Chain A
């Protein structure tokens, strides 16, 4: 008998012992919570005091916070100190050289087959603990454009192959977008997701024709979009491709399947699950195809046809503004000015960006992602809040949570082998009662939210603006976010059976919690970058003041104060919106 349960969001007990079995079974959600006191750990971790701003800094503290929210998944206090000192240009240069952590090796280091949520945990490990922040941030952005949802039913049968896709995104995140598209076309998990794996040429006798799924979506979503665009990414009111083009490209995308096995009854094994698909010419459409005005006539040579078609598609002038604008939306601002889009698209096309210092970023090859990232982040429109009055964006739930966790994390190594670490709730985030959002978890190839989404009945809609992240801002998700923050603002749970990746260090905050003004100022310093809206600030100060601490365990009351302050600050519009 179903009964509706109303749970007040409050923390579970026991910091050191696993609560209620943790995340060990599929579908389980942490249950009953109480306001029972928490045992804080005996040892205290030394926290470096913040380095005060200095005239030699390249950025102010506020600018550093803002930059870390655009270019990374936020930053800890000491990382902000470093960022202030070296400035954004040198940070980007260092980031390009920072090594990345492959998903494939990690998955191969597991004894059992990974579950969908393991990939999500690996993503969060890298987002919170990884040093290659710019790459991770760009990977996340790309995963929302060239989408594969790891929870897709077809993928569940050979989920390891998802690692190849994750690594491809990760590599090309600061590599080359056009190479990414060519390679992802051959990635088995994309072949399964958009169904061109095993796609056959037409059979006039049996009456079937090639599957159009990948052909349509690679054009509509991954390269040129539905409309002809100008150099600033604005629609010219004409379609960019026809149904005939879809049919032709569908015919090109035939004959691909798992390497080294039968096309009709493929066997997936260690020999092919981490490898690109192979071309089986026997099943490739050998008739000439006319695609976007180009005749593709390589007969049954699938690789040549595919390469020709993709090279031609990727040479379309739409690609640079179409992709650049979406990347700007993911990193900086939902409604970039046309000139901002143009400048970034130019860097994409040129494959190179020249920084103010004169140093350049990028290889000079068209579609360079490092150049594009630098162009996005170093543009005056990104670095000067308010320059574009329509600038900024609602931060997605993932970004809001990640930058909080990253700021207060206990430093951990990203795991290399074994079971996925225990990540307390991070693997359940797409649940409608939590954030309704998670990495690699899109319900369809269209991502959780659309670049062109307009939020009905809002001020932004009134102003003619798009607000993509509002598409998932439902009532349950809104409340879910509050409750999740309140949970993490208290303590992390740990596991008896898995290594932990989500231990948080609130020592500095707790040491200031006896003084509400200092507590709030410290949260502002690291997470907001500026003063909170005055009424919000006053609410927090009054609230903290009402929480008692003292007796023989004052640290409990101080922890409660910290929790209230963090929850209120992190649910303030000033935190949720980046400017």
Chain B
């Protein structure tokens, strides 16, 4: 158990920050079993995971390569020259009846994690209104999710199960059910993400590299005057609750919270060192994961033993120049994840943190002349000490044209619903089956059997 509450709260009071709705007394989560954190890495733009799990047995490889003939040979041309030759792939163990797949060589760090049992794949995940297949789509008998292949809507659907405008994300909901109401339970290093908003839980944001600046005038003195500094703090903390305008009330509250949490985090982050061991220069995702590592290190001071973090990586919408862009993206993702895990391992935190990827959608297998277009189902990674690594959960789809789950041009109809994927993570996080049904409202439409991704 961590001894955090009284000491940090008293320090907060000494800064003159008034106790407010943003700084509640820390509450221990109901889930028990010590501290746990989920880290979501969102790949913005729709990641071409057909370029991650690549057909590796001869037939699968031929089909994969044929579908992308005009780009397959070009992967040696970019700033990170690589190959998509069959011999270059890092083969993963297959399951009878499914294609064997391999990772591209630039993802060797992920392959190492996989081999060490710390990373697993979830195959062909995506939003589903109901289980369906190609026949259902072609005959128009299938109920399909709305606004498939619209970036902003699918980003929202992955995070909330609702299209753009939805307000509550399942990351926030997991925290709601865990009984935490700390202002620091949900933290994003990548701006606003609805994923982290719960019914009660309100996320906060931190700069991606952890470099925090405090608001002008909120030091001990301002222009030599303690009283003036106190007025400045009161000014920033002032709500506009008497105003007719909801926007005025909202901006006042949001700003007050921003100034307060920024001050608190700035003070706490002074003592953080774990991020230094994680951050890779020039790798934006790694900068964010380093900041998250710092926050995890500080968990004792943040007053919660359940946290959900959100990091994001852009650039995945590879309609063009796929052969130049994907190697760099995949390598950065792979290196950042590995460095993060190694840092957590060294700090004895392996069992406490599970990292997972998500994305708007996957992409078409058949390319356009220089890239790929929007798809639907995609493959994802789950990483951590609690993961049953070295496996691919779910069903690896065929690479043949017009297979059972070919939506169009090799874009996949998912065979694992995001509810199933999310519930697997939520179960590890400590939620009961009943709570999981509340967080993932449509879970009953899909198989509730655990996927075996997490021990």
- A contact set with B: CB distance below 8 Å: 1-10, 35, 153-154, 194-195, 198-200, 203, 206-213, 216, 220, 226, 239, 243, 250, 334, 386, 389-390, 392-394, 432-433, 436, 443-444, 446, 450, 452-463, 465-467, 470-476, 478-480, 482-483, 486, 533, 535-536, 539-540, 542-543, 546-548, 560, 564, 567-568, 571, 573-574, 576-577, 579
B248 touches A574 (CB 8 A): yes
B250 touches A571 (CB 8 A): no
With known contacts A444-B314, A574-B248, A546–B227 Cβ distance under 8 A:
yes
B262 touches A479 (CB 8 A): yes
Nearest first, the 7 closest Cβ-Cβ pairs linking A and B are A9-B216, A478-B258, A456-B197, A211-B368, A486-B216, A474-B205, A459-B246
B414 in the interface (beta carbon within 8 A): no
A577 touches B245 (CB 8 A): yes
A457 touches B202 (CB 8 A): yes
B403 in the interface (beta carbon within 8 A): no
Cβ contacts under 8 Å, B234 to chain A: 539
With known contacts A211-B319, A478-B255, A443–B314 Cβ distance under 8 A:
yes
Bound together, the chains give a CA A206 to CA B371 distance in angstroms of 13
B165 touches A454 (CB 8 A): yes
Known: A207-B67, A226-B153, A539-B238. 13 other contacts (CB 8 A): A4-B210, A203-B70, A208-B369, A211-B370, A432-B191, A454-B165, A458-B246, A460-B246, A467-B250, A474-B258, A480-B213, A539-B234, A543-B235
Closest to B71 in A: A208
B205 touches A6 (CB 8 A): no
Partner of A2, one of B45, B253, B290, B368: B290
Cβ contacts under 8 Å, B74 to chain A: none
Closest to A2 in B: B276
Secondary structure at the A interface, as helix, strand, loop or mixed, is loop
B143 in the interface (beta carbon within 8 A): no
A556 smallest CB distance to B (angstroms): 11
A479 touches B258 (CB 8 A): yes
With known contacts A208-B366, A209-B409, A546-B225, A473–B251 Cβ distance under 8 A:
yes
Closest to B257 in A: A475
B451 in the interface (beta carbon within 8 A): no
- B contact set with A: CB distance below 8 Å: 44-45, 66-67, 69-70, 147, 149-153, 164-168, 172, 188, 191-192, 194, 197, 202, 204-219, 223, 225, 227-228, 231-232, 234-236, 238, 240, 242-255, 257-259, 261-262, 266-267, 269-270, 272, 275-276, 279, 290, 294, 314-315, 317, 319-321, 366-371, 373-374, 408-409
B422 smallest CB distance to A (angstroms): 18
A154 touches B321 (CB 8 A): yes
Can you list 23 A-B contacts with CB-CB less than 8 angstroms, sorted by A residue number?
A2-B276, A4-B211, A4-B272, A9-B215, A194-B319, A195-B320, A211-B373, A216-B149, A226-B150, A243-B408, A334-B247, A450-B164, A458-B250, A475-B205, A475-B258, A475-B261, A476-B205, A476-B258, A478-B258, A536-B235, A546-B228, A564-B217, A567-B217
A470 touches B371 (CB 8 A): no
B213 touches A9 (CB 8 A): yes
Partner of A482, one of B44, B215, B272: B215
B207 touches A577 (CB 8 A): no
Cβ contacts under 8 Å, A467 to chain B: 247, 250
Bound together, the chains give a CA A466 to CA B67 distance in angstroms of 43
A2 smallest CB distance to B (angstroms): 5
With known contacts A212-B368, A216-B374, A543-B231, A476–B212 Cβ distance under 8 A:
yes
Most buried by A among B149, B247, B261, B270: B247
With known contacts A7-B213, A547-B223, A392–B167 Cβ distance under 8 A:
no
A486 smallest CB distance to B (angstroms): 4
Bound together, the chains give a CA A455 to CA B203 distance in angstroms of 12
A198 smallest CB distance to B (angstroms): 7
B250 touches A486 (CB 8 A): no
B150 touches A547 (CB 8 A): no
Partner of B235, one of A3, A239, A393, A539: A539
Bound together, the chains give a CA A491 to CA B247 distance in angstroms of 30
Closest to A578 in B: B247
B112 smallest CB distance to A (angstroms): 25
Cβ contacts under 8 Å, A212 to chain B: 319, 368, 373-374
B446 smallest CB distance to A (angstroms): 24
A2 touches B279 (CB 8 A): yes
A1 touches B211 (CB 8 A): no
Bound together, the chains give a CA A210 to CA B409 distance in angstroms of 12
Cβ contacts under 8 Å, B242 to chain A: 533
Bound together, the chains give a CA A480 to CA B217 distance in angstroms of 13
Closest to A432 in B: B207
Bound together, the chains give a CA A548 to CA B222 distance in angstroms of 12
A384 smallest CB distance to B (angstroms): 14
B231 touches A394 (CB 8 A): no
Bound together, the chains give a CA A579 to CA B67 distance in angstroms of 55
B315 smallest CB distance to A (angstroms): 8
Partner of A472, one of B165, B192, B227, B320: B192
B192 touches A460 (CB 8 A): no
With known contacts A208-B368, A475-B206, A479-B215, A392–B151 Cβ distance under 8 A:
no
Bound together, the chains give a CA A210 to CA B366 distance in angstroms of 11
B239 smallest CB distance to A (angstroms): 9
B152 smallest CB distance to A (angstroms): 5
A460 touches B150 (CB 8 A): no
Partner of A573, one of B252, B294, B374: B252
A533 touches B262 (CB 8 A): no
With known contacts A2-B275, A479-B213, A568-B235, A436–B191 Cβ distance under 8 A:
yes
A546 touches B231 (CB 8 A): yes
A243 touches B250 (CB 8 A): no
B25 smallest CB distance to A (angstroms): 20
Most buried by B among A1, A212, A547, A548: A212
A475 touches B204 (CB 8 A): yes
A459 touches B235 (CB 8 A): no
B368 touches A542 (CB 8 A): no
Closest to B272 in A: A4
Cβ contacts under 8 Å, A462 to chain B: 246
A253 smallest CB distance to B (angstroms): 11
A6 touches B206 (CB 8 A): no
B165 touches A542 (CB 8 A): no
A256 smallest CB distance to B (angstroms): 13
Most buried by A among B147, B192, B317: B192
Most buried by A among B218, B225, B228, B246: B246
Bound together, the chains give a CA A153 to CA B248 distance in angstroms of 38
B270 touches A571 (CB 8 A): no
Most buried by B among A1, A220, A456: A456
Closest to A463 in B: B246
B212 smallest CB distance to A (angstroms): 6
A483 touches B165 (CB 8 A): no
B165 touches A466 (CB 8 A): yes
Partner of B262, one of A203, A471, A475: A475
Most buried by B among A216, A473, A479, A540: A479
Bound together, the chains give a CA A486 to CA B152 distance in angstroms of 35
B205 touches A459 (CB 8 A): no
Bound together, the chains give a CA A213 to CA B321 distance in angstroms of 13
B247 touches A392 (CB 8 A): yes
Cβ contacts under 8 Å, B213 to chain A: 6-9, 433, 476, 479-480, 483
Cβ contacts under 8 Å, B147 to chain A: 226, 239
Bound together, the chains give a CA A455 to CA B247 distance in angstroms of 10
A452 touches B164 (CB 8 A): yes
B165 touches A207 (CB 8 A): no
B258 touches A455 (CB 8 A): no
With known contacts A394-B251, A476-B212, A482–B368 Cβ distance under 8 A:
no
B193 smallest CB distance to A (angstroms): 10
Cβ contacts under 8 Å, B294 to chain A: 4
Cβ contacts under 8 Å, B208 to chain A: 432
B212 touches A4 (CB 8 A): yes
Bound together, the chains give a CA A5 to CA B214 distance in angstroms of 10
Bound together, the chains give a CA A195 to CA B206 distance in angstroms of 33
Bound together, the chains give a CA A209 to CA B401 distance in angstroms of 14
B144 smallest CB distance to A (angstroms): 11
